[in-house]
Structure 1
Amino acid sequence: MKIAICGGTGFIGQSLIKHWTTQGHHIVIITRKIPSNPTFHEHLEYLTWDQINHHPESLENLDALVNLAGASLSQRWTKQAKKRIMESRLTTVSSVRKLISQLKKKPAVVIQASAIAIYGTSLDETFDEHSQTRVMDFPSGVVQQWEDAADSIPDVRLVKLRISVVLGNDGGAYPMMRLPFRLGVGGRIGSGQQWMSWIHISDMVRLIDFCILNPNIEGPVNASASQPVTNDQFGKAVAAIHNKPYWFPLPSFLLKGIVGELSLILLKGQRVIPSKALEHGFVFTYPEIKGALQDLK
């Protein structure tokens, strides 16, 4: 297959590239500028948005396009940061929409990154792809506008991949999440009862591949393992894997003082179930947190 990736230099994108180039697929990384130290591979090429704007025909005959681009939420949410987070997502979706409209032969599918924040937060509700979305805070508002923009991409099968916390050693949040435990000062965050929906990076890659290859999958797809955990369960599992104590709680007020409004991500959560993936026969390699963390040890 010929697959284009927007945001291919990020954590998930790099894992996808390793997976697909090994399988012999041709990958086009779409980026604002070519990296100073790009990865070289016979099945890998880089194109800038400026090049594509001048020559959209260079992306004819794509089998799929995966859009993972967007500024990280893991930063203090100043007014400028919020603007950057929102604009980075909407601008790339707009560019993808323009590109698709210009192609004579359109890709069979667009995989558009989204996030489980779209469901809002709850301690007692369980969400799947049929659940109502709701804007409760900054993250949910960002994702709602992100998905609304993606819905305007024309004439393709659109999969809106609602991504949970992706666990891996080479990027994402997990290396920082486990650091306190490795230092022997890990414990629950806030009450510890908030839900954490998660997915192992290898299952993340396999799920994207699964969505591309299965023509019956479209619309929202929850990219989360089948067994979410509470923050307390997660912390105890990390501590046990690394043979460290679980004893040093981080109070809510202290976390809010350190990272500000960003603390919403850690202090509130959602129990999200991947109903659509399971209904279509996807099998998770790591459905349980202990197995996932053991693999990442």
Structure 2
Amino acid sequence: MKIAICGGTGFIGQSIIKHWTTQGHHIVVITRKIPSNPTSNEQLEYLTWDQISHHPESLENLDALVNLAGASLSQRWTKQAKKRIMESRLTTVSTLSKLVSRLQNKPAVVIQASAVAIYGTSLEETFEENSQTSVMDFPSDVVQQWEDAADSIKEVRLVKLRISVVLGNDGGAYPMMRLPFRLGIGGRIGSGQQWMSWIHISDMVRLVEFCILNPNIEGPVNASTPQPVTNDQFGRAVASVHHRPYWLPLPSFLLKGIVGELSLILLKGQCVIPSKALEHGFIFAFPGIQEALQDLK
């Protein structure tokens, strides 16, 4: 297959590229700046946004286009940071929408990144793809506008991949989340009862591929395990896997003082179930937190 990927230099993107190149696919990485020392691999091609804007024909006859681009939420949410986070997503989607409209032979499918934050937060509710979305804070507002913008991508099968916390060793949040436990000072965050929906990086990569290969999948798809956990359950699992104590809680007020509004991501959450993936036959290699963390040890 010939697949283009935006945001291919990030944690998830790099994992996807590694998987696809080993399978012999031709990957086009769309980036702001071509790496000074790109990987010597004839299956891997780099194009800048300027290049594809002037020469959209370079993306003709794609089997799939995957858009993961967007500034990280893992930064202090200053006024400027919020603007950068929002604009990075909306600008990228708008550019891709215009690009797709100019193609004579459009990609068979566009996989557009989204996030489970679109459901809002709750201690009691369980969210599936057909659940009502709710704008109640900055993350949910970002994702709602992100998905609304993606609707401008026409005449292709569009999958909105609502991504949860992706657990892996080479990036994302997990290395920092487990660090306190490795240091022997891990414990719950806040009440510990807030939900954490998550997915192992291997299942994340496989789910993207599954959505590309299954022509009956479109619209929202929850990229999360069928076994979400509370923050307390997650912490106990990390402590158990690394044979460390589970004892020092991090109070909500202290976390808010350290990272500001970003603390919302850790202090609030949502219980998300991947109903659409399961209904179409996707099998998770790591459905449970204990086995997932043991694999990442």
The 1-side partners of 2:13 and 2:38 are apart by 13
The alignment of Structure 1 onto Structure 2 pairs a total of residues equal to 297
What is the match of residue 169 of structure 1?
A: 169
What is the match of residue 87 of structure 2?
A: 87
Letter in 1 for 2:248: F
* SS state at 1:27 partner: strand
| 1:240 correspondence with 2:240 | yes
- Give the Å deviation of 1:39: 2.1
The 2-side partners of 1:293 and 1:210 are apart by 23
After the TM superposition, which residues 195-206 of structure 1 pair with which residues of structure 2 at under 5 Å, given as runs? 195-206=195-206
The 2-side partners of 1:71 and 1:38 are apart by 22
The 1-side partners of 2:52 and 2:130 are apart by 36
What is the match of residue 74 of structure 1?
A: 74
Letter in 1 for 2:32: R
Letter in 1 for 2:254: L
The 1-side partners of 2:94 and 2:243 are apart by 48
- Structure 1's consecutive aligned runs of 4 or more residues displaced over 4 angstroms after TM superposition are none
For normalisation by structure 1, the TM-score amounts to 0.99
* SS state at 2:45 partner: strand
* SS state at 2:29 partner: strand
Letter in 1 for 2:108: A
What is the match of residue 260 of structure 2?
A: 260
The 2-side partners of 1:129 and 1:40 are apart by 40
The 2-side partners of 1:40 and 1:141 are apart by 40
Residue identity (%):
87
What is the match of residue 26 of structure 1?
A: 26
What is the match of residue 274 of structure 2?
A: 274
For normalisation by structure 2, the TM-score amounts to 0.99
* SS state at 1:112 partner: strand
Q: Cα deviation per residue 1:130-174 (whole Å; 9 max; x = unaligned)?
A: 100010000000000000000110100000000000000000000
The 1-side partners of 2:238 and 2:55 are apart by 49
- Give the Å deviation of 1:46: 0.1
The 1-side partners of 2:233 and 2:291 are apart by 14
What is the match of residue 36 of structure 1?
A: 36
| 1:227 correspondence with 2:204 | no
What is the match of residue 9 of structure 1?
A: 9
More deviation, 271-280/48-57:
48-57
Q: Which sections of structure 1, spanning at least 5 residues, go unmatched?
A: none
The 2-side partners of 1:98 and 1:148 are apart by 15
The 2-side partners of 1:231 and 1:278 are apart by 24
